[in-house]
Amino acid sequence: MIRVYLVDDQMLVRTGFRMLIDAQPDMTVVGEAADGSEAVGQLGTGGRLRADTDVVLMDVRMPVMNGVAATELIAAPSAAGGPKVLVLTTFDLDEYVFAALRAGASGFLLKDARPEELLGAIRAVAAGDAVVAPSATRRLLSHITHALPGGPAPQSDPLLTTVTAREREVLLEVAGGATNAEIAARLYMAEATVKTHIGHLLAKLQCRDRVGLVVFAYENGLVTD
């Protein structure tokens, strides 16, 4: 049973999500909050529902504490053992989505997604996978990088020095939106080998999932368009 916690400042939205999720044989809603602060109180370190929650559906723009700040406290890489966060957003809030992914969210979903897409995303996050297709992630993050305020050129993370030349090739393919099968064909390797390389990248770059690898590549200037 996948245990879901709802965070949204609109009661009607939470009610709709609860009805949809509780109707599934493999899901149940274990709690809800109207803002990020309330969610952190129940799901942050020491929160009474932290150990009983698998996935958090997190709205981005809320009063008191927004979804980005709440995600950082609930699901940041440093907050090991907590629930996974699925960020709900609209496409015009790109900078918030990017910040939430950096804060430790396992992925994002647009609020106009179909019910089956939402349910599939919850199952994917609960299983430890990225929520969106890599190609969709690439398109959104590409848009985000152009929307973010200008600043100095990104500095390469020292963790990159631990990556082999072959792993770097795989990382670039992942950041470019390629599937495992596509990477295998382009780099002339078995798909199982691709999975092994991605596993090594996740460990070396300290990323939680495939979305994290895409974010890492963009933040370190490996992808520019």
Residue-by-residue DSSP string for the chain: -EEEEEE-S-HHHHHHHHHHHHTSTTEEEEEEESSHHHHHHHHSTT-TTGGG-SEEEEESS-SSS-HHHHHHHHH-TTSTT--EEEEEE-GGGHHHHHHHHHHT--EEEETT--HHHHHHHHHHHHTT--SS-HHHHHHHHHHHHHHSPP-SPPPPPGGGGGS-HHHHHHHHHHHTT--HHHHHHHHT--HHHHHHHHHHHHHHTT-SSHHHHHHHHHHTTS---
| pLDDT confidence of residue 92 | 52
Phi, psi angle pair for 87, to nearest 5°? -85, 130
Q: Rounded mean pLDDT of the chain? A: 81
Q: What are the Cα distances from residue 96, in Å, to 144, 156, 180?
A: 9, 23, 28
Of 43, 28, 37, 41, whose CA–CA distance to 9 is shortest? 37
Give the integer Cα–Cα distance in Å for 86 and 100.
9
Confidence of residue 133 (pLDDT cuts 50, 70, 90): very low
For the segment 91-112, the average pLDDT, to the nearest whole number, is 72
Q: Does position 97 have pLDDT exceeding 50, yes or no?
A: yes
| pLDDT confidence of residue 160 | 84
Q: Does position 169 have pLDDT exceeding 80, yes or no?
A: yes
Q: Does position 126 have pLDDT exceeding 70, yes or no?
A: yes
| pLDDT confidence of residue 7 | 95
Confidence of residue 146 (pLDDT cuts 50, 70, 90): low
As a whole-number percent, the residues of the chain with pLDDT over 90 amount to 34
Query: Which of 79-83, 115-119, 122-126, 218-222 has the least mean pLDDT?
Result: 79-83
Q: How would you classify the pairing of strands 55-59 and 2-7?
A: parallel
Confidence of residue 32 (pLDDT cuts 50, 70, 90): very high
For the segment 187-200, the average pLDDT, to the nearest whole number, is 92
Residues 6+ apart with CB under 8 A from 49: 5, 30, 31, 42, 43
Q: Output the CA torsion 60→64→68→73 (10° steps).
A: -140
